[in-house]
Amino acid sequence: MNSTAIAPIDSAIADVEDAMAVLFTRAGATWRDFAACVHPELQPAGYKILSALVRLGPTSSGALADLLFTDKSVMSRQVRWLQANGLVESHQDPGDGRVRVVAVTTDACSRVEHARSDNMEMFRDQLRQWPREDLSRFADMIERLGE
């Protein structure tokens, strides 16, 4: 392939990178807003842990770290903070005493669901404006990008 054939694709890739940078910046702001709705001192990393626990149920700290691509020391600090603030409970796995299982408290679950509900409704309202074919294609593209 010659350099003139590469230039248009590189330009399109740069457009995708720019659009994703904006999307990730907005997502970061959204995580901060969600975290503040749950607890005024909650960090976005802690909110991500709570959100995962609401979705998955009780999960080991190691599995959460792997799922969220988080260093285990960061996970440990976040879980300690969440536990100290009554947002999670932690106990030994009955099947393996070396493993700590973390579970979201009922109060924290309610707070996370409340924080999500308003924003998710706005997001869904935006997507409802799109043609169904665009939504399907977008979902396919995101899945492909994540492979």
Residue spans of the domains in the chain: they are 6-146
CA 48/CA 38 separation, integer angstroms: 11
Domain 6-146 is in which class? mainly alpha
pTM of the model: 0.77
- What amino acid is encoded at 63 in this protein? A
| Model pLDDT for residues 17-33, shown as the tens digit of each residue | 999 999 889 888 888 98
Q: Predicted confidence band at 4 (pLDDT cuts at 50, 70, 90)?
A: low
Q: Residue 143: is it exposed, middle or buried by C-beta count within 10 angstroms (0-12/13-18/19+)? A: exposed
| Model pLDDT for residues 98-142, shown as the tens digit of each residue | 888 999 999 999 999 998 887 788 889 999 999 999 999 999 999
Neighbour count for residue 12 (Cβ, 10 Å): 10
Contact between 89 and 61 (Cβ < 8 Å):
no
Residue 1 has pLDDT above 80, yes or no: no
